[in-house]
Structure 1
Amino acid sequence: QDLKRIAKLPNIKVHETIGMSNPWGYRNKAQIPVRGKDGKLVTGFFRKGTHELIPMENFHIQDPKIDEAIIKVRDILQEYGIKPYDERKNIGNIRHIMVRRGYYTGEMMIVLVTRTAKLFPLSKIIPDIREALPEVVSIVQNVNPRRTNVILGEENIVLYGEDAYHDTLLGHTFAISSKSFYQINPKQTEELYSLALEAAKLTGKETVVDAYCGIGTISLALADKAEHVFAMEIVPDAIEMAKRNAEENNISNVTFEVGAAEELLPQWAEKGVKADVILVDPPRKGLEPSFIDAAVEMNPDRIVYVSCNPSTLARDLALFDEKGFKATEVTPVDLFPQTLHVECVVALENVNK
């Protein structure tokens, strides 16, 4: 519908959505609010459009081991009298429990989001968490003193291990920090990225630009099949992790740089970077017009667009179409089963060449 209505491109073929055979228990990350009820710590979901906590222990779409971990951590904090956050009065301490778990490695990270840096008795809390959850390789305290809906604050205190856990994706191992973006459905991410790699049609001789690279998840897969990859990301922590991940996987044909895609791409073009393929995986707002202009200016053979928002994808495809980059087919992938969201992969061929 979006392609017809927004992009006015009725001839693009939309393939059947690639779904999951078991569309439950797939989320590898959970950020669960903690509040007080009848003198106890409770975890659950906020009722839609409110700050009223509905107690819940089985979230159905999360990795069941993550659901278990949240309850175990909550009960340990309860045992030591940790006070729940009260947002109306801005008092109390524990705001959220975040758990991340490697789908393939089983490694687990616990992030305790607190209002203040004080969290006693750590000498008992940390060993108890480790004993209850032997998979835990990292425990981080994130301090968020502000009255805000934003979950994480600026300050991180590493309580155990380092601020990283590992998982693997398409044969590469990734170190993932507490603030790193990492796709939450590993099985479907492999489907999505495999489609994107196929659409790139790499032979080993190409220069590729990966415009929203995160911690390098798709950059490293591209580097296996290209001559060189230039990758960019606006989050400095993500680029640090990306460089570390390239090193840990012995991949040297990637250049990572911090910056906004719409600013860096024109700069790279001026410096003479010529891309044969540009891969974009932007946030929900899609691409800036200045980025589209710079991408077209680079005159690549093709652009591979991975999108998490069909309406901004349609808008951008119409802009590319005007400039001679034509799409013929779209493949949707259900990355978030039981929700309305869908990801899409599209290859745009340069008809000017």
Structure 2
Amino acid sequence: MNKRNQVIPVAKNQIIEITIHALGHEGQGIGKYNDFTVFVPEALPGETVEAKIIFVKKTFAVAKLMDIISTSEGNRVTPACTIAKRCGGCQLQHMDYQAQLAFKRQIVIDNLQRIGKLTDVTVHPTIGMDNPWNYRNKAQVPIGAAIDNEAGLVSGFYAIRSHEIIPMDACNIQHSYNDELVVEVRKLAEKHGITAYDESTHKGLLRHVVIRTAFKTDEVMIVLVINGKSLPNQGQLVQEIASLSQNIKSICLNVNKEKTNVIFGDETRVLYGEDKIFDYIGDIRFGISARSFYQVNPVQTEVLYAKALEYAELTGEETVIDAYCGIGTITLFLAKKAKMVYGVEIVPEAIEDARYNAEINGVDNVEFAVAKAEEWIPQLYKKLGNSDSNDTDKDERGHECNSLPEVIVVDPPRKGCEQELLDTIIAMKPERVVYVSCNPSTLARDLQILVQGGYEAKEVQPVDMFPHTSHVECCSLLVRKDN
């Protein structure tokens, strides 16, 4: 029968019995019911479950797990968190940690084969954590009004695919400082009569409490995100927050008056202390400001960056470009063993932090540019790629960008690299490309383009940056075939 004319064998609210054979990229169980795909969150491969269909599309349905008829032996565990089924933060707490690592490796393999058509790439076992709990150094916690008390506030995380706040005082994957301080700040806000922001009416003041805790230094930054310009009793409130812990080195106010689900607005003011806290990755010190992108799992970040440095195979003679460099985290690691590293990033504040971080670490073989990587790198190639031209591109400190890079490192956002950037990398012909990715599907797409352009995808190393979630980070090595 033509699939277009196929009768859908399930209906909303129908109870079915189904055997799960795989996991989807968001960690949901996948099964077939009369050859029709059904996604069942919380179900694991090898299990037969009873599920209730909650909505139906032309090619698939989604069902709610009602009962487990036969359990996946050795893979199912009791979630450590009592609200794991309701909270949208963790998708895999019901899965044994070693099984999680195997699943994440398989997700990478499946994407490489299905999207990238790459069947001969070595995908190593996922590097996990000895202790996969309390690993997050940053909490971004929404604040809402308590249902049973108009003057009260609640803090927590959003339910799956909604903006309903699930109240909680402790999260098993957050640093304990973050949990404790969110609760104390919420109580102080209540004390001073500060209202919670309401998305539906665009009224109320306090939107989010953001806490950053540096794992190596214990320094803490607190950011209050508000729908307004200031807080009532602001001076006294800040003093009371600062007195909560001697580790609090910075309290900031971020103004976000837009009707949006983006957390931060454009204006940030320091109310107490400094505009940065400091942490280390390896032996490199980083200053982190309120809106800096800084990996949330510092333990695994060190593992990931060490792998990127290993794949770069630097000897001290190379020119390196670090695309999407953020605050210079990977850049400074590369600079240890490179002749010169150029970092490019579109966010001006991130580049300010990157230059500052280079300075405080005494690193002088790096330069940073505020630009889109997909524009800056092609422009550089246009200047340097013409063999008839002796032009060089001088940066603001006088360093001459007078040679094409031997190594290019990219660490793009989830959408992956722009086509123009990939085309330029292929044209530049660096000896090696190190691709750091937080999204296996766009990684697979981009690796296919680079392979078609003359590179061999040698290996991919998954790193578990986000235990108990369905997300996985990867570091990939590509080498020019004509080297």
Length-normalised TM-score, structure 2 = 0.72
- 2:440 equivalent to 1:310: yes
Determine if contact 1:170/1:221 at 8 Å carries over to the other structure.
no
Q: Where does residue 169 of structure 2 map in the other structure? A: 57
- 2:166 equivalent to 1:36: no
Q: Where does residue 113 of structure 2 map in the other structure? A: 4
* Partner amino acid, structure 1, of 2:463: V
The correspondence for 1:251, drawn from 358, 363, 369, is 363
Q: Aligned ranges for residues 215-230 of structure 1 at < 5 Å?
A: 215-230=327-342
CA distance in 2, matches of 1:91, 1:322: 53
CA distance in 2, matches of 1:173, 1:148: 34
Aligned pair count? 353
For 1:275, what is the secondary structure of its paired residue? coil
Offset of residue 120 of structure 1: 2.0
* Partner amino acid, structure 2, of 1:91: K
For 1:271, what is the secondary structure of its paired residue? helix
CA distance in 2, matches of 1:291, 1:18: 29
Residue by residue over 1:229-278, the C-alpha shift from the partner in whole angstroms, topping out at 9 and shown as x without a partner, is 01100111100110011011111111100111110111111232410100
Offset of residue 89 of structure 1: 2.2
CA distance in 2, matches of 1:22, 1:299: 41
CA distance in 1, matches of 2:203, 2:126: 46
Q: Where does residue 322 of structure 1 map in the other structure? A: 452
Residue by residue over 1:150-180, the C-alpha shift from the partner in whole angstroms, topping out at 9 and shown as x without a partner, is 1111111210122211111121111111111
For 2:135, what is the secondary structure of its paired residue? coil
For 1:21, what is the secondary structure of its paired residue? coil
* Partner amino acid, structure 2, of 1:340: S
Of 184-193 and 282-291, more deviation after overlay is shown by 282-291
CA distance in 2, matches of 1:307, 1:232: 17
Q: Where does residue 237 of structure 1 map in the other structure? A: 349
Offset of residue 123 of structure 1: 2.2
Q: Aligned ranges for residues 99-110 of structure 1 at < 5 Å?
A: 99-110=211-222
Cα RMSD of the aligned pairs, angstroms, is 1.1
Of 40-49 and 26-35, more deviation after overlay is shown by 40-49
- 2:258 equivalent to 1:149: no
* Partner amino acid, structure 2, of 1:64: S
Offset of residue 53 of structure 1: 1.7
* Partner amino acid, structure 2, of 1:304: V
- 2:407 equivalent to 1:295: no
* Partner amino acid, structure 1, of 2:268: N
CA distance in 2, matches of 1:3, 1:311: 8
Of 40-49 and 189-198, more deviation after overlay is shown by 40-49
For 1:225, what is the secondary structure of its paired residue? coil
CA distance in 2, matches of 1:295, 1:185: 30
CA distance in 2, matches of 1:222, 1:180: 20
For 2:461, what is the secondary structure of its paired residue? strand
Of 71-80 and 191-200, more deviation after overlay is shown by 71-80
* Partner amino acid, structure 1, of 2:225: V
Length-normalised TM-score, structure 1 = 0.98
User: Higher helix proportion, which one?
Assistant: 1
CA distance in 2, matches of 1:6, 1:123: 55
Question: Where do 5+ consecutive residues of structure 2 fail to align?
Answer: 1-109, 385-402
Of 195-204 and 46-55, more deviation after overlay is shown by 46-55
The 4+ residue runs of structure 1 with deviation greater than 4 A are none
CA radius of gyration, larger in: 2
* Partner amino acid, structure 2, of 1:246: A
Offset of residue 290 of structure 1: 0.8
For 2:243, what is the secondary structure of its paired residue? helix
* Partner amino acid, structure 2, of 1:345: C
CA distance in 1, matches of 2:260, 2:476: 37
Q: Name which structure has the greater RCO, CA cutoff 8 Å, separation 6+.
A: 1
Q: Aligned ranges for residues 97-176 of structure 1 at < 5 Å?
A: 97-176=209-288
Offset of residue 72 of structure 1: 0.9
CA distance in 2, matches of 1:328, 1:154: 41
Residue by residue over 1:287-315, the C-alpha shift from the partner in whole angstroms, topping out at 9 and shown as x without a partner, is 11111111122111110111111111111
For 1:60, what is the secondary structure of its paired residue? coil
CA distance in 2, matches of 1:73, 1:320: 49
Of 156-165 and 300-309, more deviation after overlay is shown by 156-165
Q: Where does residue 334 of structure 1 map in the other structure? A: 464
Residue by residue over 1:301-351, the C-alpha shift from the partner in whole angstroms, topping out at 9 and shown as x without a partner, is 110111111111111111111111101211100000010011111111111
Q: Where does residue 13 of structure 1 map in the other structure? A: 122
The correspondence for 2:132, drawn from 6, 14, 23, is 23
Offset of residue 69 of structure 1: 0.7
